[in-house]
Structure formats: C-alpha cells, structure tokens
Structure 1
Amino acid sequence: MTYRPALDGLRAIAVVSVMLFHLDRELLPGGITGVDIFFVISGYLITSIVIRDFDKERFSFARFYQRRISRISPLFFLVSITIFAVTAMLYQDYDFALVGSSLAAAAVSLANMQFVFLPGEFEELPFVHYWSLSIEEQYYLIFPLILFLADRYRGSRKSLSIFLSIAALLSFIACIVLTEVDSEWAFFLLPTRAWELLAGCILAVLPFSSKGDNGSSISNKRIDALLASAGLVVIIASQFMIHDDTGFPGWIVAFPVFGTVLVIGRPQESRTGVTERLLSHPVAVVIGKASYSLYLWHWPVYAIVDYALITMPYASLLILKIVLTVTLSVASYNWVEKPVRSSLNRPERQRLSYLLFTAGTVVMLVTGYWARSTYSVNASLGSTRKAEVAFNEHNLAPQRLLAGDSNESMDGVGRNEIARARPVNRHVPGVSDHDSLPDSKLDKE
C-alpha cells in the first residue's frame, strides 16, 4: 500500500486528544476516544499490509512479528526502564511496588488485565496507558492466524469480511452489555474492544476498487469527500460531547469509531477532498509520525510530575508537563524510534530483533517482580477482605494486624522493619506460612 499522509494527520488528532484529556479532562472531555481512533487506524494499516503480503505470496509470521517488534519494542523498553528508574527515586514503597507489578504485566502484554483486577484509583501509576498497547498485542497474536487460515483455504475476501463483521458485531454487543455491568471490565478487556480494531480490518479486507469491470467509476468523488468530511466532524464532536464517566465505553464509542471509518473510507476517491488535504497538512503529519513517542511519554510525565511536584501551581504544572513530554518525544522519536526501527526491521536482522525483544522482556519481568516483592507486603485482595488471620495462641508477644486498603499498606514495609526491632507478631490477612518475614519473631507477615 502507498503512503497516505492523511492517516498520520488522523493519528495526530488521536494523540493530541488523549494528551489534552489526560492533561485536564475539562479541556477535552471526550479526548479519551483518541485511543479508539488509534485502534481503527491500527486495524486498517496492519491488515492492509498482511493482505498485500498474501497477494504477493510472501507472508511470514516471523516477518510479521519482526515488524511489530521493530515498530513497538525499542521505544517501549526505553520508556519503561526510564519510568522504573525515575520512580525508584521518587515514589514511596507501596507506590513503587505497584510500578513494579505494572512493569512486569506490561512486559508480557497483560497491563490491561492488571488494571481490571487492581482495586481503587491508580492515577499515579505511570504505566496505566499501556493497557491499549496490551490490547493491540493480544489482538495481533490471534488475528494474523485468522487471515492466514482464510487465505490458506482459499476463502474469498467477501466471506472473510462477513466473518469479521459478525465478530465485530458480537464484540460491540459485548461492549454494550458489559459496560452496564462493569464499565472498567468493558474498558480494559480485548473482547469488548476488538470490534474497534476489526472495524479497521474490515475496511482493509472489503473488495473495494476505484473502477468497475467496464472501466467506469463505481464511486462519486464528491460523495466520498462528503462522507470523509462528515466523519471528521463526528470525530471532533465526539471529543467534546462524550464523557468517560457516562456509560463509557458502551455504544457511545460507535461515534468516533464510525467517524474514523468514514475518514479512512476509500482513499482512491477522496484524496483530493478538503478533509484529506486538512489531515495531510505538514504540521499534522509531523505530529502523527511522532504519535507513538508522544503517547508513550505523555502519561508517565504527567503522573510523575503530579506525584513529585504536587504543591506546584496548576499553570506551572501544565507548562512543565507539556515541555517535558514534547522534548522527550522529539528526542526519542529522532534518536531511538526511527533509527532503531529501521535497523531492526531489516530481514537479515530478524534473529537480532527477536533476541533483543526477549532480553528486554526478561529484564522488565525480573525488575518488575523484584520491585513488587521487595517493596510491598504480599496479602491477597480476597483474603484481606475476608480478614483470614491466624494468630499464634501460644505466643505472648504483642499482636499487630495489618489490614485495610492501600492506606495501611503504604507504610507496610517500613512497619515490618519496626516490628523486627521489637517482639511484635505482625499479621497480614491471607498470607501463607511460606510468605513469613525472615525475622523469627514474626510468625506471619
């Protein structure tokens, strides 16, 4: 497929809207829908590439995942390790432990699942935005196989588009239903988000062409351009009219998704339209090209600045966040993302790309697990709620129970040190005997 600048312009809208939403929700109440725009674009572009490889009979799973690794991993690892190092210096024990568990979850593309099960607020966690990356990677572990089997057994594009449409419809229904039951699950889970990626996939699979069998045009350029303009209007309107606390994601997400579908539409017929020209503006294209860097850096910068400089005036915080985000993004895009991606994407460096990916994943897992196990008391949420505590009836030393939520766990590690210095038996609900503190005076942690 040929390069289409307007898609980078669309990425620019997506990333700027997300950044403004996270900067201050009142600036752009529906800015979170920028993630939905990203999902549609991703589904469209990656499916288009896979279909092209099928048509040229050169598709390879190894090559497909090499592209993903070279595109995603270098900056992903850089930002992740930077976040870990900075929070190690600034965060309190309990918060740093959560950073560690988030790092480990992100390493294996399960960040979204962690936030499903993590209770309470986690605004201070700098890895929260990784949930969307995890959803994409989970999706692309499955989707290429579906396309491969469809091509292998000579399924027609029309049949494939019908199958994908049914899957998208089921996912959309699941999103609506689960939003009513538990909006957080609907927000973070792949089955309730897959329809957005599938919307882009269907666009790439549908047998569109600009000419009919007799050579006549089968599309009216004016109509296509009008539809693209309508799609852009819907996207922008969604930024202001949708609120993430009113039944989100749910059916309301259909608006930005449908708007994105209309904009992507049929590029052969709409490239001369006003929407295409607007989205192809050089400024929009530059922002769109750096959108991955901007997305990865913006949230950890916001979270860490708020955490470390909470007493700073509001206006100063906003300026600092924007300056740091843009500076880090420009630097990493030009010095890391572009050159390393170009290098690792070469066919002859396939083994190297997989080796570096494996090494980076292992490092993130090990360091994340170390931080989680070192800087947090390890009681299970379910056991804490049930207050399952086993006291040693024969031990006359004072008993101390650590229970409750993060307010009590915040100082858990420090209080363990105090307990070691005194003859105090300290208990954490639900921790088994093999999780005991090393001090013999503590029969249970």
Structure 2
Amino acid sequence: MSQIFKYNPSLDGLRGIAVICVLLVHASYGKISGGFLGVDLFFVLSGYLITAILLKEFTLYGNISYFNFYIKRFLRLLPPLAVCIILYLIYQSYISPTGNESPLLIVFSSLFYFVNFVHESYLGPLVHLWSLSVEEHFYLFWPILMAGLIFKLPKRKQMIFIFFFIAIITVFRIWVYYTNSIEPMHFGIFSIDSYRFTFCRIDAIMLGGLAAIGLSEDPNSFNLKIQPNLGLILLLAPLGFLVLFLDVDNLVWRYGGFIGTNLLALAIILFAVKNPKNRILGNSILLWFGQRSYGIYVYHYLIFLAMEPLRVSGSVSNLIIVTTLRVVASLLFAEISYRIIEKPILKLKSKFQNKGIRKTAQL
C-alpha cells in the first residue's frame, strides 16, 4: 500500500505547528502577525488528506460512498463546534454585544457554515470559524467532483484539471482584493473578501489535493537526497521568519505572494509525507498539539476574549500572566473535549465504511 494512504505521525506534528502559529497571532494581539499562515498550512494539509482518503476508497472499491464520507465529516467536526456555540451563548448572556454583533446570526452562520460570507463586524467572538466554513464548502463538492469526473481521467489529466482550477482561483483572488481596495464588496450583512471568501481560499486546499494525486501516481516523486532534520530546518526556517514578520495586509502577499506561502506549506507537507517518522515532527509535544488541534482552534478565540477583562493596559507582567492563563485554559479545555467528546464519537466512524466489493488491485 502506498505510503500516502497510511497513518503518518509527522502530519499530526504539522497540525501541531499550524495551531501553534494561530495561537501565537491571537495571543500576541496580532504582534506576531504572520501566525495566520497556520491556517494556510491547515488548508493545504486538509486538501492532501481528504484527497488521499477519497483516492484510497476509489482505488479499493471503484466508487466513493458519499453518505459515509459526509457522516464521518459530521462526526469529526460538529460535536466540538456545537460545544463552542453553547459556550458562546453562555458568554454572550453576560456580555452585551458590541457594534453590529448579532447572536442569532453568529449561531446560525457558525452552525451552517457560512461565517465566511458574513461581514466580520457581525461575527464577534466566533469570527475565526470562517476557515471551517471554507473547508466545509470544499468537502461538499470535492468528493462529488473527484468520483464523478477527476478520478475517471488519466492521472496526468487529473493534475492538469486541478492545476487549471487553482490558476483560476488565484486570478479571482487577486481580482477580489483589487476590487475591494477600490470599493468594498458589501451586500448587507454579507461580503466578499479575498481572505475569507470560499472561492478565494480553496486554492491552498486544492494544492494539497494535487499533491496527493501526484504522489499516488509516482510515490517516489519529490525525493530529496538530504539529511531529514536538515531538510526540515531549511523548510521551517522561512516559515518561522514569515510567521514573525509577515503582515496579512502585505501587498506583495495579497497580490500573489500567497502562491509562495502555499508552495512553502506544500513543500513542508511533502517532506512530512516522505519522512513519516521524523523525530522532530513526531515528538510528543507536537503530536499532542496536532491530535487536539481542531479543538484548540475552535475553542481558543472565545476563551481568549472571555479572559480579556483580566487585562490591565500597559502592564507587561499582567500581559504575560493573562496570556499564559489564556493559553493554558484553551489547551486544558481542548484536552477535556478531546477525551470526553471527540475520541468517543470518532470511534463511531468505523461503522461507516464502504460496503462495496473490494477490488483486487493493490495500492
């Protein structure tokens, strides 16, 4: 069986790095501005993993069970999200909404995955859930597109087809940013912006899918004759630099520089795929963060805001203490969620497997 279809602890380590980047940008009040690249890393990794899962099923059975796929996504995503929404309802019952915040809109847009279509001013403490909306939209159409068209094409045409779509999305993303710089694209409570709108952000997810298909065609591709730890350092060093210094509104990044950061994320993921037992990515700390990354991401921003009243303006010591408390509380809550909610529910996924006749061809 090809290595792209096997469990890879290094990829869990990358999830850990991605969620740590997100924690850094929010815990630092945006001072570590490039932490948003953690979301880009999540996107590319998600595209890779979902496509590999679909490709494995299609290769084994000649079809994809859409029902099983969506049920398993439901089991993975909804329970922590529902807990987050309940926490928000408790939170907002004590805190008066500010500005345009609408609790009803926040709940419905979060629960039904259209946060990224709503203007940020209406979203309050759950604004960060926009990325879940992007991924969920991708999950809705990608399996159908894969099984109905792409997987039926020769591998070369599959990759050309996806590359073509990525190119279109890239151009559209730049156009949306340029258009918004002239006149914001607001339509009542809704908006289209190049950072959150689905069709502007699935370029990274599709890039991960492209890599999964490419590796399934030639598992020996992307092999580099370099010492593994050195190779990882050479990839993570520019990521670390960008996390520390890149601003989300940087014009170079907005007008196409995101192609470079997406490719950097892809290169890191390909390294992890080729080195599934890398000692750095597979260390216990990163694995812990990675296995709980979804819960950490979903809960942390609301917890951070709930603890904001503890802040004393101008006090460095207070900032350190409150930041530490925020991070510890987020990690603790994610751990409780992982053990009590996520792990027990995820065991149900085994009940939803393709019941078709297994093909004799080996992966």
Counterpart of 1:78 (choices 66, 70, 83) is: 83
Q: Which has the higher contact order (CA 8 A, sep 6+)?
A: 2
Q: Which sections of structure 1, spanning at least 5 residues, go unmatched? A: 212-217, 349-445
Instruction: Give the distance between the partners of 2:166 and 2:32, measured in 1 at CA.
Output: 28
Work out the CA distance in 1 between the residues paired with 2:15 and 2:299.
16
2:196 to 176, 188, 202: 188
Is 1:254 the counterpart of 2:267 in the alignment? no
1:415 alignment partner in structure 2? none
C-alpha distance after superposition, 1:290-327 (max 9, x if no partner): 10111011100112222x44558433321321221111
TM-score w.r.t. structure 1 length?
A: 0.68
Distance 2:342 2:100 in 1: 27
CA drift at 1:103:
1.0
Change (3 A) 1:74 1:180: same
Corresponding residue number in structure 2 for 1:176: 174
Q: Percent identity?
A: 23
Structure 2 SS opposite 1:277: coil
Q: Kindly provide the amino acid, as one letter, of the partner of residue 105 in structure 1.
A: S
What residue is the counterpart of 1:392 in the other structure?
A: none
Pair 1:235-2:239 in alignment: yes
Matched, 1:38 2:42: yes
Q: For 1:102-181, what aligned pairs fall within 5 Å after superposition?
A: 102-115=106-119, 118=121, 125-150=124-149, 154-181=152-179
The count of aligned residue pairs is 331
3-state SS of the aligned residue for 2:6?
Answer: coil
Distance 1:261 1:337 in 2: 28
1:100–1:345 Cα change, 3 Å: farther
State how far apart, in whole Å, the 1-side matches of 2:222 and 2:211 are. 16
Letter in 2 for 1:12: G
Equivalent residue letter for 2:212? A
**What's the counterpart of residue 299 of structure 2?**
297
Structure 2 residues not aligned, in runs of 5+:
182-191, 354-363
Secondary structure at the aligned position of 2:280 is classed as helix
CA contact (8 A) 1:126 1:299 kept: yes
* Cα distance in 2, alignment partners of residues 220 and 326 from structure 1: 36
Which of 52, 56, 74 is the matching residue for 2:56? 52
Q: Distance in 2 between matches of 1:250 and 1:323?
A: 37
CA separation of 1:263 and 1:232: change in aligned 2, threshold 3 A:
same
Give CA deviations for 1:173-203 in whole Å, capped at 9, x if unaligned.
Answer: 2222322332770011011101010110000
Q: What's the CA shift string for 1:414-444, capped at 9, x where partnerless?
A: xxxxxxxxxxxxxxxxxxxxxxxxxxxxxxx
CA-based RMSD of the aligned residues comes to 2.6
Displacement after TM superposition at 1:268 (Å): 6.4
Q: How far off is 1:208 after superposition?
A: 3.9
Greater CA radius of gyration, 1 or 2?
1
2:154 aligned partner, one-letter code: S
| Alpha carbons 1:232, 1:260 under 8 Å: kept | no
Aligned position for 1:222: 225
Match of 1:281 in 2: 283
Deviations 1:198-218 (A, max 9, x none): 11000011144345xxxxxx6
